[in-house]
Structure 1
Amino acid sequence: MSVTTATEAPARIGLAAGAAAVTVVLWASSFVAIRHLGSQISAGPLSLARLGLGSVFLGALLLRRRQHPVVRRWPAGRDWLPLIACGVLWFGVYNLALNEAERRLDAGTAAMLVHIAPLLIAVLAGIGLGEGFPRQLVIGGLVAFAGIVVIGTSTSSGRAETWGVVLCVIAAISYAVGVVTQKPLLSRLPAAEVTWLACTIGAVVCLPYAPTLVDELQLADASTVWWVVYLAAFPTALGFTTWAFALRRTSAGRMGITVYAVPVVAVLLAWLALGETPTPLAFAGGALCLAGVAISRRTT
């Protein structure tokens, strides 16, 4: 019995770390995909397409689990307010703001600006969820945030359009509040169910853009459609599910700091896929981000 208990904790931590790593890569790729699609599909329709298809994919995943009814629970009355807040803010507002921002900013810059969110998450979780402020979390957060600042001074374009920056800040705030409202739900409901319901709520928020989406898809080429499908299936359906899986097994503050690695990966992917070449200073900032993530995840 004691041997099983001793081996379960490292396995649990390893699974959470693996799920977090998958999330980081997929979410980083979404910044590049959104930037690529921005000249072909406008912000609102892209949000609706991504969330609508994501809801379908997640719903299909839940149906496949029908043979295990014990793990499926419908939210109780007290769950709906935080669930709606998570769906409206993190899925709806976040996607709308980010998609519009990336029509003005390059992918790397947008990823860096949005990732002021982890510090907001750590503060909100420390106050609202009683997680406190462990020393390694604070130090790791400050180191990683320093990395974001360094990268922000050395973007590929050398300037940040003001409205794009404002939209990224709105996205970051929506992201942070959404994560903190999601965390308590994961102690009562399956991660996949929470993600599906929140994604569906976000899609409903974006329904007014349906007519424009139909018009723009009629003019889009096949590659554009496949990029939209990729956004829905991987960064949305899979990425948010692995995020919820990891968040359920660790603190919101620690998970928030972990995604500081997203802009590092996004900068590299944007460099490879879009030719948005980072400067040496950006690489130095990336190293600081990764160091901050490593510090924040220490358990001793």
Structure 2
Amino acid sequence: MKTNARYLADVLTTAVAPAIWGSTYFVTTSFLPQGYPVALLRALPAGLLLLLIVRKLPTGVWWGRAFILGALNFSFFWAMLFVSAYRLPGGVAATVGAVQPLIVIALSRVFLGKPIQPLAVVAGFVGMVGVGLLVLTPKAALDSIGVAAGLAGAVSMAFGTVLARRWAPPVSNLTFTAWQLTAGGILLVPFALLLEPALPMPTAANLAGIAYLGLIGAAFTYLLWFRGLSRIEPSAISSLGFLSPVVATLLGWLALSQSLTPVQIAGFAMVLAGVWLSQRTMMQLRPIRPAASPEPANRPV
């Protein structure tokens, strides 16, 4: 059984993933061609690289599951995220996406039979309000398509999070991540060829940005995320996603000389309170065992 110290270590390790995701906006705007979606270049090369490392393909039912999870956690989620970010101010898009932990709580009740913890729901609302205070501006405008895309993306990753826990892959987290990234990248190929503009000749900065998003922002972070998901309740791990807009705001303050208002500072405090309350709620419940069964010759990282 887990101790609270072990649980806290798992939470802190997993929290590195959404913290790094918070750097995506800065890297995209500073190092990549303007307005060009790089979801395919972010997913497929990283997935193929991990497949070369693990040298293990799915078998049986896991072929279908890998593509379902690849679509939910990567290809469809990233596509909706791009549409939402393109049509909405960043603050609105982030606030819409912050509803994801509440969706995960509901889906965990349906698919995992987990009871709904009132404090976890409160934590979800506190975190969502905190994100709104942190990133929304008085000039923020709504767009129905952008809002719908943001909600669709939140639902997509919420389903991916819960189903990944429900199916509990009989392989290492590294292999599980490789399967999903590769499958998600393959699903993005036809859309990239038919809908995306041709990628301009990349500069050294472009290549560095793409490498960062693929190797660090996708392969490394999702390895940590799925490792955490095998050890932490989905409703608790999803609340860690609130850290992404916090890091994005802090990077804007530190690297782009943006100012922090008292309202944003209050939002920052509410986000941290929401994350703490969610984890505290799970720590008070009976500890859980890891859901994934690692491969004998390739233990999870």
Structure with greater helix percent = 1
How far the C-alpha of 1:156 sits from its partner, in A, is 8.2
Letter in 2 for 1:98: L
**1:188-222 C-alpha deviation (Å, 9 max, x unpaired):** 3322212111111111111122488794142x321
Matches of 1:221 and 1:281 in 2, distance apart? 39
**1:114-136 C-alpha deviation (Å, 9 max, x unpaired):** 22111111111122111221243
Matches of 1:38 and 1:171 in 2, distance apart? 22
Given the alignment of the two structures, is residue 269 of structure 1 paired with residue 261 of structure 2, yes or no? Answer: no
Residue of structure 2 in register with 1:23 after alignment: 17
**1:209-264 C-alpha deviation (Å, 9 max, x unpaired):** 2488794142x321012101100011100010000111101111111122222221
Distance 1:56 1:214, change over 3 A: farther
Letter in 2 for 1:16: D
Check the 8 A contact 1:131/1:253 in 2, yes or no.
no
Check the 8 A contact 1:55/1:200 in 2, yes or no.
yes
Given the alignment of the two structures, is residue 146 of structure 1 paired with residue 138 of structure 2, yes or no? Answer: no
Structure 2 counterpart SS, 1:206: helix
Structure 2 counterpart SS, 1:183: helix
Residue of structure 2 in register with 1:224 after alignment: 206
Residue of structure 2 in register with 1:68 after alignment: none
Letter in 1 for 2:50: L
Distance 1:99 1:32, change over 3 A: farther
Matches of 2:183 and 2:102 in 1, distance apart? 26
Residue of structure 1 in register with 2:175 after alignment: 193
How far the C-alpha of 1:166 sits from its partner, in A, is 3.1
TM-score of the two chains, using structure 1 as the length reference = 0.82
Letter in 2 for 1:195: T
Q: Percent identity?
A: 25
Structure 1 counterpart SS, 2:170: coil
How far the C-alpha of 1:56 sits from its partner, in A, is 2.9
Check the 8 A contact 2:72/2:160 in 1, yes or no.
yes
Of 232-241 and 23-32, the range deviating more from structure 2: 23-32
Name which of 28, 39, 49 aligns with 1:34. Answer: 28
How far the C-alpha of 1:279 sits from its partner, in A, is 3.3
Of 29-38 and 90-99, the range deviating more from structure 2: 29-38
Name which of 141, 145, 159 aligns with 1:177. Answer: 159
Residue of structure 2 in register with 1:57 after alignment: 49
**1:137-164 C-alpha deviation (Å, 9 max, x unpaired):** 2232222122133335x33864355543
Name which of 87, 90, 94 aligns with 2:73. Answer: 90
Letter in 2 for 1:48: L
Structure 2 counterpart SS, 1:77: coil
Distance 1:270 1:20, change over 3 A: same
Structure 2 counterpart SS, 1:287: helix
Check the 8 A contact 1:47/1:96 in 2, yes or no.
yes
Matches of 1:271 and 1:156 in 2, distance apart? 19
Matches of 2:61 and 2:25 in 1, distance apart? 34
Distance 1:52 1:157, change over 3 A: farther
Residue of structure 1 in register with 2:39 after alignment: 47
Residue of structure 2 in register with 1:101 after alignment: 84
Letter in 2 for 1:279: T
Check the 8 A contact 1:31/1:107 in 2, yes or no.
no
Letter in 2 for 1:29: S
Residue of structure 1 in register with 2:100 after alignment: 117
Check the 8 A contact 2:133/2:266 in 1, yes or no.
yes
How far the C-alpha of 1:15 sits from its partner, in A, is 3.5
Please give the root-mean-square deviation of Cα atoms over the aligned residues, in Å: 2.7
Matches of 1:222 and 1:156 in 2, distance apart? 37
Of 274-283 and 249-258, the range deviating more from structure 2: 274-283
Counterparts of residues 1-16 of structure 1 (less than 5 Å): 9-10=3-4, 12-16=6-10
Distance 1:62 1:275, change over 3 A: farther
Structure 1 counterpart SS, 2:114: coil
How far the C-alpha of 1:289 sits from its partner, in A, is 1.1
List gaps (5 residues or longer) in structure 2. Answer: 285-301
Matches of 2:274 and 2:66 in 1, distance apart? 30
